Amino acid sequence: MFDVLKTNPIVAVLRGIQPKEAQAVGEALLHAGIRIMEVTLNSPNPLQSIEILAKEFGHTAVIGAGTVADPSDCQRVADHGGIICVSPNTNISVIKAAIAAHLTPFPGFMTPSEAFIAIDAGARFLKLFPGSSVPMSHIKALKPTLPEGIGFIVNGGVSADNAADWLAAGADGIGMGSELFRPGDQATDVRRKANAVVARLPQQSS
């Protein structure tokens, strides 16, 4: 996961995507260099979209589910080809269910206590959410206290204007939703927006 984030730190949050859009949107994101995609489970037929993306792009991209709040969803995500499980909160049951299903959990956290609860449950990647609720100095203060090898992304309030600042503050990755995809967007819209966002990021290693 760290290797993928180093090539491009963006996690595309596909909220509201429909299965019929999945392949074209996935192609547009990959063309811009974005290699991590999460389909939120409150989208229409999300497991079908995950399966389409995994079959088409799973050899080059990391595909999974977002907004995972129910432990029972983890195995279903894995059965449809997903490999990451992104949650809005710190739920030990979801973390353990994700690990049992051979998924990489990304539990949401805000406080140091939540971060360490997630780590103790087995998480090795965390999601600071919502990022808009805290200053970027929150990362700088928190990151040195985390065990070695723990990575995290920031989601909520990340935009093309501040993405580079979040990375400079210490985030390993950034989750972006509507800046890349809104329900009803055509693949050409996604490609244009993704290229514009990526162009504003610091140069990443290949």
From 21, 51, 127, 179, active-site residue:
127
Q: Is residue 155 part of a domain?
A: yes
Q: Specify whether the CB–CB gap between 131 and 158 falls below 8 A.
A: yes
Domain that holds residue 100: 2-199
Q: Is residue 194 part of a domain?
A: yes
The beta-strand segments (E) located in 5-97 are 10-14, 36-40, 62-66, 84-86
The single residue listed with the structure tokens 């920031």 is 154
Q: Specify whether the CB–CB gap between 96 and 88 falls below 8 A.
A: no
Spell 27-39 as b/e; 16+ CB within 10 A means b.
ebbbebebbbbbb
Determine the pLDDT at residue 206.
Answer: 45
| Alpha carbon distance 112, 139 (integer Å) | 10
Q: Is residue 204 part of a domain?
A: no
Q: pLDDT tens digits for 2-47? A: 999 999 999 999 999 999 999 999 999 999 999 999 999 999 999 9
Q: pLDDT tens digits for 59-74? A: 999 999 999 999 999 9
Q: Is residue 206 part of a domain?
A: no
Q: pLDDT tens digits for 70-126? A: 999 999 999 999 999 999 999 999 999 999 999 999 999 999 999 999 999 999 999
| pLDDT-derived band at 202, boundaries 50, 70, 90 | confident
Instruction: Check which CATH number belongs to the domain holding 158 and give it.
Output: 3.20.20.70
Q: Is residue 163 part of a domain?
A: yes
From 20, 21, 27, 38, active-site residue:
38
Report the helix count and the strand count for the chain, using DSSP H and E.
9, 9
In the residue annotation, 38 being an active-site residue is answered as yes
Whole-structure pTM value: 0.95
What is the domain count for the chain? 1
Q: pLDDT tens digits for 145-175? A: 999 999 999 999 899 999 999 999 999 999 9
Q: Which helix (H) or strand (E) holds 177?
A: none
In terms of C-beta density within 10 A (0-12 exposed, 13-18 middle, 19 or more buried), how is residue 148 classed?
A: exposed
